Amino acid sequence: MTIDPWRITGQPEIDSYVGRWIELAVLLVNRLAVTTAHGRPATPPQSGDERHAAIIDRLAAAGRPPSTLTAADADRLAEVAVQLSPVFGAGDRILTAAAQLNELLVRHKAVPNLHGHPGRSPVLAFHQADASLVDAWAADMGTALAMVIGVGQSVRLGTCQAGKCSLVFFDTTRNASRRFCDLSCQNRAKASAYRARRRA
């Protein structure tokens, strides 16, 4: 069996766990923290209710509606999203971003933990069974990001390279070559590079 060299652990169960939590981090950063998107200024939602609606909306679209998220949780998740955002596109600032991530992991009491369910084999998580929803999400997202950074793959935590767009993404391409959040930004960047060449 061949395993892509960038795969986090090579264990499909753990890699899919990491992937799922990084997708949630991407979703929260993009929805609650970025201030430019697709060439325009973006205003993140400002009130707990707006944040709550934004998160629920995106989670439902991603097929994972949360059962017990409150507006107060949404406010705290907005803070977490701002704190997680520096690990994306960190480049030379990776050590600073890693130190901030370490602090977040401590703050939200991240700990490797086996959660038991009757009749099933224990499930690995990175928060205590009695953690609040925000602590649990922050700990699991933070740990997943730390696992990617810790195997030398921080380049896969990307930010869009198109002008006036700071949307983030998890680059799962084979050679870590993704540069844009989506096709519209890729086309926009191509068009502006073409115009620049014409001028030159």
Q: Contact residues for Zn ion (CB under 5 A)?
A: 160, 162, 165, 167, 181, 185
Residue 84 near residue 25 (C-beta atoms within 8 A): yes
Burial of 179 (0-12, 13-18, 19+ CB in 10 A): middle
> Closest distance between Zn ion and the C-beta of residue 167, in Å?
5
- 144 vs 181, which CB is nearer to Zn ion? 181
Q: What is the DSSP string of 89-151?
A: T-GGGHHHHHHHHHHHHHHTT---EEEEETTEEEEEESS-TT--HHHHHHHHHHHHHHHHHHT
The token pair at 114 is 């086996």
Closest separation between CB of residue 38 and Zn ion, Å? 6
| Nearest distance from C-beta of residue 162 to Zn ion, angstroms | 5
By C-beta, is 110 or 160 nearer to Zn ion? 160
CB count within 10 Å of CB 5 equals 9
Q: How far is the CB of 31 from Zn ion (least distance, A)?
A: 14
Q: Largest Cα–Cα distance in the chain?
A: 68
- 34/147 with CB nearer Zn ion: 34
Can you say how many angstroms the Cα of residue 39 is from the centroid of all Cα atoms in its chain?
A: 21
Question: Are the C-beta atoms of 26 and 169 separated by less than 8 Å?
Answer: yes
Find the shortest distance in angstroms from Cβ 104 to Zn ion: 25
- In this complex, which beta carbon is closest to Zn ion, that of residue 147 or of residue 165? 165
